[in-house]
Amino acid sequence: MKIAVPEDSSILTPDDLRQDPPAVDPYEATRKGLENPLGMSPLEDIVKPGDKIVICCPDRVKGGAHEQAHRKVCIPLIVDKLKKGGVKVKDIELLIANGLHRKNPVQELRSYLGDSVVDFFLPDRLTCHDAEDRENIMNFGRDKMGNIVEFNKKVADADLAVSIGHVLGNPYGGYSGGYKMVTTGITTWRSISCHHTPKVMHAHDFIPANAESKMRKRMNSIGKAMEEGMGKKFFCVDAVLGTDNQVLGVYAGDAEEVQKASWQIAAKRTEVCLDIADKFDILVFGEPRAFHYGPGHGTNPILMLQAIGAQLVRDYGIFKENGVIICASLCDGWFNDEWFPAYRPVFEKLQGLSDFTDVTMFEENICNDPDLIYKYRFAYGYGPFHPFSMVYCGTIALKHTSEIFIVSAHEPKYARAIGCKPSKNFEEALREAEKYVGRDPNILVLPECFLKPGFNLYRK
| Domain end call among 250, 270, 290 | 270
Kindly state the percentage of the chain with pLDDT values over 70.
Answer: 100
Name the pLDDT band for 65 (thresholds 50, 70, 90). confident
| Residue type, position 286, single letter | G
Residues 249 and 104 in one domain: yes
Per-residue pLDDT at 64 exceeds 90: no
Residues 165 and 307 in one domain: no
Rounded distance between C-alpha atoms, residue 193 and residue 391, angstroms: 12
CATH number reported for the structural domain that contains residue 265 in this entry: 3.40.50.11440
In a domain, 134, yes or no: yes
Per DSSP bridges, beta strands 401-407 and 319-328 are: parallel
Q: Which of 33, 55, 36, 38 lies closest to 159, judged by CA?
A: 55
Per-residue pLDDT at 18 exceeds 90: yes
pLDDT number for residue 279: 98
Strands (E), 226-366: 235-241, 247-253, 271-274, 280-286, 290-291, 294-295, 319-328
Residues 265 and 285 in one domain: no
Give 1's contacts (C-beta < 8 A, 6+ positions apart): 286, 328, 407, 408, 426
Rounded distance between C-alpha atoms, residue 56 and residue 181, angstroms: 9
Provide the 10 A C-beta neighbour count for residue 105: 10
| Domain end call among 270, 288, 322 | 270
When pLDDT is averaged across residues 138-149 and rounded to a whole number, the result is: 98
Residues 261 and 325 in one domain: no
Per DSSP bridges, beta strands 294-295 and 290-291 are: antiparallel
Residues 258 and 286 in one domain: no
Per-residue pLDDT at 277 exceeds 90: yes
Per-residue pLDDT at 272 exceeds 90: yes
CATH number reported for the structural domain that contains residue 348 in this entry: 3.90.226
In a domain, 89, yes or no: yes
In a domain, 392, yes or no: yes
pLDDT number for residue 63: 82
* Long-range contacts formed by 115-123: CB under 8 A, 24+ apart: 116/76, 117/71, 117/72, 117/75, 117/76, 120/76, 120/79, 120/89, 121/92, 121/93, 121/94
Residues 248 and 384 in one domain: no
Query: In this predicted model, what pLDDT tens digit does every residue of 211-267 receive, in sequence order?
Result: 999 999 999 999 999 999 999 999 999 999 999 999 999 999 999 999 999 999 999
Rounded distance between C-alpha atoms, residue 69 and residue 114, angstroms: 10
In a domain, 111, yes or no: yes
**How many domains does the structure of the chain reveal?**
2
pLDDT number for residue 175: 96
pLDDT number for residue 264: 97
H/E stretch holding 128 reads strand 126-128
Q: What does pLDDT average to over the chain?
A: 97
Residues 79 and 166 in one domain: yes
pLDDT number for residue 241: 96
Residues 315 and 239 in one domain: no
| Residue type, position 444, single letter | L
In a domain, 2, yes or no: no
Residues 217 and 290 in one domain: no
Query: In this predicted model, what pLDDT tens digit does every residue of 389-423 receive, in sequence order?
Result: 999 999 999 999 999 999 999 999 999 999 999 99
Residues 232 and 322 in one domain: no
The vertex-360 CA angle with 354 and 364, nearest 5°, equals 140
Note the pTM of the prediction, 2 decimals: 0.96
Rounded distance between C-alpha atoms, residue 273 and residue 23, angstroms: 21
Q: Is 199 helix (H, G, I), strand (E, B) or coil?
A: helix
In a domain, 158, yes or no: yes
- Sequence-ordered alpha helix ranges (H) in 282-418: 301-315, 343-350, 363-367, 370-378, 386-399, 412-417
Query: In this predicted model, what pLDDT tens digit does every residue of 88-112 receive, in sequence order?
Result: 999 999 999 999 999 999 999 999 9
Residues 324 and 384 in one domain: yes
When pLDDT is averaged across residues 374-386 and rounded to a whole number, the result is: 98
In a domain, 9, yes or no: no
In a domain, 1, yes or no: no
pLDDT number for residue 62: 83
Q: Which of 144, 146, 162, 130 lies closest to 55, judged by CA?
A: 162
Intra-chain end-to-end CA distance of the chain, in Å: 31
Kindly state the percentage of the chain with pLDDT values over 90.
Answer: 98
| Domain end call among 229, 247, 270 | 270
Residues 283 and 397 in one domain: yes
Domain that holds residue 49: 18-270
H/E stretch holding 27 reads helix 26-35
